[in-house]
Structure 1
Amino acid sequence: MHVLDLYCRGLTSREGSFQYDPEFIELQYEAAWRAGKWDFSLLYPQTHSTSMQHVKNNNYHENLHGCLRALHEGDCNGFHGKLKDAKKELVLSISRASEESTEFIYSAVVKLQILYHLGLVWDLRWTTSSHESMHGYPVKQMACADPVTPTMEQFSWLNKDWISITTQTQFHMNLLEPLVAFRRVLLQILGCEQCTMQHLLQSASLLRKGSKFSHAAASLHEFKFLCAKSDGGQSVPDWLGRIEEAKILHAQGRHEVAISLANYILQNYQLKEEASDIYRVIGKWLAETRSSNSRTILDKYLKPAVSLAKNPSSEISKRLVDRQSQTWFHLAHYADALFKSYEERLSSSEWQAAMRLRKHKTKELEVLIKRYKSSKKGEQSDYSLKIQELQKQLTMDKEEAEKLQVDRDNFLKLALEGYQRCLQIGDKYDVRVVFRQVSMWFNLASQKDVIDNMLSTISEVQSYKFVPLVYQIASRLGSSRDESGSNSFQSALVSLLRKMAIDHPYHTILQLLALANGDRIKDNQRSRNSFVVDIDKKVAAEHLLQDVSHHHGPMIRQMKQLVDIYIKLAELETRREDTNKRVALPREIRSVKQLELVPVVTATIPVDRSCQYNEGSFPSFRGLSDSVTVMNGINAPKVVECFGSDGRKYKQLAKSGNDDLRQDAKIENMLS
């Protein structure tokens, strides 16, 4: 601050340079409040020309500095006056802003959030009293002599707002960094050392994730200073600052120093379950940098991290759940990467060449053994040496192949177990894990470990987590393309789909009905004979629907009726001259007016984790309009309006033939 002050004095001493520059004035006030310098004042009288009044937010930092100084000193009138002026200027600047200047508007909103929090904390620090005049109006408000240090309970609601804001900014550091600096200064004024230390640690983490490494290091330096000042009496342990320092070093590319520092923390601090995070982080860093062998990474770091993260107590906090989920995910992800590398090696051309060479050596050994038996004693010694050498090579090759296969299977088992535990524990990695786990099930359906994992996952993991992949899962139902031909895999697949259809019928049954109608092709369809129908898939879907009908019989009957309506609508014959005209619908389509158990097919229905889809939780089908608009196209797509129980009209597109709706780039424009 001394260097900056001296530099500003030098600039303003030159006449005609920066004396009345509004931007330079704002920079000085910003530097002053960030440094907590409340006795700051400009070296020259400040004048506001008319041109300065049109500068956006020209006095924001000056007003913010005045508010913080008044909060520090207890000047109630000065505080509220400056706060009001600052808010007024910001709102006016937003009203004058162009619609395209989103960056400025976002920045102004952040400044308003800062002022909002500032207005909330006055009563936490000062208790004011009003002195009334003879007419009953308040003349002046004075603060009490001694400021009050707020309690942790009083800070709880401020912390909730802070968490909400950091989530909304999404590491947009140009918006977040001023908030971080303001909160640090605010907590210092309020005198809450514990909150200040927590904030400094959180700030270092946020700034590191936003690649603001110098700012992160500054926050961490201040945190260390407060730790040293408290001499071990602080509520926030200093080892948290050390591990954050290691993370900053790693983010800056100083991997070896970061890993060494993390190992030092493990060895020199008495940690309990907190050690799990450090083991996980070191294992993750070693895996990323490949600076250690896989056995060490798994056995020394990732597996101990998982075992330490387990908590036998019934009450588990969200933080602990996230930590357990994160630990299992990193273990599974690393084991999965090792499994894929072994798969690639076993399927590589080099390995295939080695297998052919091994086969050739085996045949050569058989020939040598035959020659040895039929040779004379003088020749047997030469054959014996060659046989021993070949047997030794073949033994080594066999041991290598067996070890590779065993390691591959172990990594597969560990990855599947880790992904399953990750899904069981929390929701942090749901979509990513489900995609990978389902992919492994499909690609490795012949392996017993995979099928066992699938059966176990079905029984222990909530079905809503698989809803995003319902189409991909259903498309494998009854498929004859599975190389394994395994009935157990198909049984597990049916069990998963059955569970999903029972728990989430509105997200599953339509896909099953699509498979069950796979052989339905209109009689006059062009290239009718070119369609390939998978009868096994159709039959399997029908059997599954029949099984699920014991739980959702009336709903499935109405869904079949709805599907039949749309198929007839798509197959509706039209003439070329009907293009861009409205055509009346047949009576059999118009006659269906209400299906109260069936949602509008194009309406968005959120997945309910509790599987409770009560009446009114979705807009039900209330019939179609009396006519459709025939659009231009080879298969004459028709636009129809569907009525929902919510009173809305839903525009929908129906067409038949060998076109794929997903390839129609104009659908959104046609329906808008």
Structure 2
Amino acid sequence: IKTYKFLPLYYQLAARMSSVTKDNSNFQTVLMELMERVAIEHPHHTLWIILALAHAYKDDELLAVEATVRPRRRQASTDDKIEEERVQAAKCMLENLRQVNKKMADIVTNMEKLCTAYIELANWPVANKTNRNLQPLQKDLAILKIADCDNILLPSVELQVDPTGTYKDIISPVRFGTHYRIVGGINLPKIITCVGSDGRERTQLVKGQDDLRQDAVMQQVFTLVNELLAGEVEARRRQLKIRTYKVIPLSQKCGLLQWCEGTKPLGEYLIGSNGAHTRYRPNDWSAKNCREHLQAAGNKADQRLKAYQ
């Protein structure tokens, strides 16, 4: 079976990884061999998935709180132990891939370097949390030192699968912009720019303290839906398609998203400056008035429900 046929299932295969072999089964051996074979032929489509598992606790390591947070999480439940076994299996796979040849070792090294730089940026504290204008990045951030990575794909770029595993002229990261800006949200995701090897500047969204693994799976589902729609004559005639974008989990707590040009958040559309709610329902309470009304109702559920009604 050609390895590219397993690419749509790679997330699901990775979820079955473990460093522990149970009941003398050879399942893990076969699984690891298959996943390594797919990764060798299609590294740009697979290694980010393995890196996200291997770096599951990287946020805590960078924040120097691993010693107090991570052990308790491991002992909390059986699920946490399974997750730790999966992390160890992913780290083992990365080491195995480094041993394949120098080309593969360089790809793994550069992708890991870029992944760590993104995670560092995601967890880098924002000084001014209300400033929505461009602000300078700290000069010693690893993301600004990324160079000589012409053998890896810029992660926010879509790459067509090559069944032969021959990937030439990929768009690689050349340099990252020295400034960023933040968007709304509790965790203040950062908007950055990166110039690719094709000379085009692309916008990326780096999110910290947010698990993007489910988001990535949903984009995978939408991609499959598009393939089904493409197979229907009527759907093709009507050009039915779900617009997708790249979501790359980097760890359990952060990730990278392709910035969708020409779009705006739903909240901004509804209640932003001259928002749709004000235009179409001018006599309704404003969002601010609604929040104040609910806050005044107190914390009891019945009181808040009555205020909401």
TM-score tier, shorter chain, comes to 0.5 to 0.7
Percent identical: 26
Specify the alignment match of 2:42 in structure 1: 504
User: Is 1:462–2:2 an aligned residue pair?
Assistant: yes
8 Å CA contact 1:478–1:536 kept in 2: the answer is yes
Distance in 2 separating the partners of 1:490 and 1:606: 29
1:23-422 superposed matches below 5 A = none
8 Å CA contact 1:579–1:632 kept in 2: the answer is no
With over 3 angstroms needed to count, the CA separation of the structure-2 counterparts of 1:575 and 1:528, relative to structure 1, is: farther
- The CA deviation string for residues 27-82 of structure 1, in whole angstroms up to 9 with x for no partner, is xxxxxxxxxxxxxxxxxxxxxxxxxxxxxxxxxxxxxxxxxxxxxxxxxxxxxxxx
SS at match of 2:152: strand
Specify the alignment match of 1:472 in structure 2: 12
How much has 1:547 moved relative to structure 2?
Answer: 1.1
User: Is 1:541–2:90 an aligned residue pair?
Assistant: yes
8 Å CA contact 2:149–2:173 kept in 1: the answer is yes
Distance in 2 separating the partners of 1:653 and 1:531: 28
Please point out which of 132, 138, 141 is paired with 1:586: 138
How much has 1:577 moved relative to structure 2?
Answer: 3.5
Distance in 2 separating the partners of 1:463 and 1:668: 26
Structure 2 unpaired stretches of 5+: 75-79, 219-244, 246-256, 263-309
How much has 1:671 moved relative to structure 2?
Answer: 4.8
With over 3 angstroms needed to count, the CA separation of the structure-2 counterparts of 1:659 and 1:510, relative to structure 1, is: closer
Opposite residue 559 of structure 1, the aligned amino acid is M
Distance in 1 separating the partners of 2:259 and 2:46: 28
Paired residues in the alignment total: 208
Specify the alignment match of 2:241 in structure 1: none
Runs of 4 or more consecutive aligned structure 1 residues displaced over 4 Å after TM superposition: 527-533, 661-671
Please point out which of 642, 645, 661 is paired with 2:197: 645
Please point out which of 133, 141, 166 is paired with 1:612: 166
Specify the alignment match of 2:106 in structure 1: 554
Specify the alignment match of 1:352 in structure 2: none
Distance in 1 separating the partners of 2:161 and 2:6: 11
Specify the alignment match of 2:299 in structure 1: none
Specify the alignment match of 1:599 in structure 2: 153
- The CA deviation string for residues 454-488 of structure 1, in whole angstroms up to 9 with x for no partner, is xxxxxxx01000011111111211176x9x64540
Distance in 2 separating the partners of 1:603 and 1:670: 12
Q: TM-score, normalised by structure 1?
A: 0.29
8 Å CA contact 1:652–1:671 kept in 2: the answer is no
Distance in 2 separating the partners of 1:577 and 1:554: 38
- The CA deviation string for residues 530-565 of structure 1, in whole angstroms up to 9 with x for no partner, is 755522111111111111112301111111111111
8 Å CA contact 2:19–2:88 kept in 1: the answer is no
- The CA deviation string for residues 267-295 of structure 1, in whole angstroms up to 9 with x for no partner, is xxxxxxxxxxxxxxxxxxxxxxxxxxxxx
Distance in 2 separating the partners of 1:489 and 1:604: 32
Query: Which protein is richer in helix relative to its size?
Result: 1
SS at match of 2:175: strand
Distance in 2 separating the partners of 1:570 and 1:637: 7
How much has 1:647 moved relative to structure 2?
Answer: 1.4
How much has 1:579 moved relative to structure 2?
Answer: 3.8
- The CA deviation string for residues 295-317 of structure 1, in whole angstroms up to 9 with x for no partner, is xxxxxxxxxxxxxxxxxxxxxxx
8 Å CA contact 1:590–1:623 kept in 2: the answer is yes
Distance in 1 separating the partners of 2:4 and 2:260: 33
Q: TM-score, normalised by structure 2?
A: 0.60
Distance in 2 separating the partners of 1:555 and 1:476: 24
- The CA deviation string for residues 416-452 of structure 1, in whole angstroms up to 9 with x for no partner, is xxxxxxxxxxxxxxxxxxxxxxxxxxxxxxxxxxxxx
Distance in 2 separating the partners of 1:668 and 1:605: 13
How much has 1:662 moved relative to structure 2?
Answer: 5.4
Distance in 1 separating the partners of 2:261 and 2:151: 25
SS at match of 2:125: coil
With over 3 angstroms needed to count, the CA separation of the structure-2 counterparts of 1:604 and 1:545, relative to structure 1, is: same
8 Å CA contact 1:464–1:609 kept in 2: the answer is yes
8 Å CA contact 1:593–1:624 kept in 2: the answer is no
With over 3 angstroms needed to count, the CA separation of the structure-2 counterparts of 1:669 and 1:621, relative to structure 1, is: closer
By relative contact order (CA 8 Å, sep 6+), the higher-ranking structure is 2
SS at match of 1:597: coil
SS at match of 1:565: helix
Specify the alignment match of 2:57 in structure 1: 519
How much has 1:611 moved relative to structure 2?
Answer: 1.2
- The CA deviation string for residues 496-528 of structure 1, in whole angstroms up to 9 with x for no partner, is 101101111111111111111112233388x95
Structure 1 unpaired stretches of 5+: 1-460
SS at match of 2:58: coil
8 Å CA contact 1:579–1:631 kept in 2: the answer is no
Distance in 1 separating the partners of 2:125 and 2:261: 21
- The CA deviation string for residues 202-258 of structure 1, in whole angstroms up to 9 with x for no partner, is xxxxxxxxxxxxxxxxxxxxxxxxxxxxxxxxxxxxxxxxxxxxxxxxxxxxxxxxx
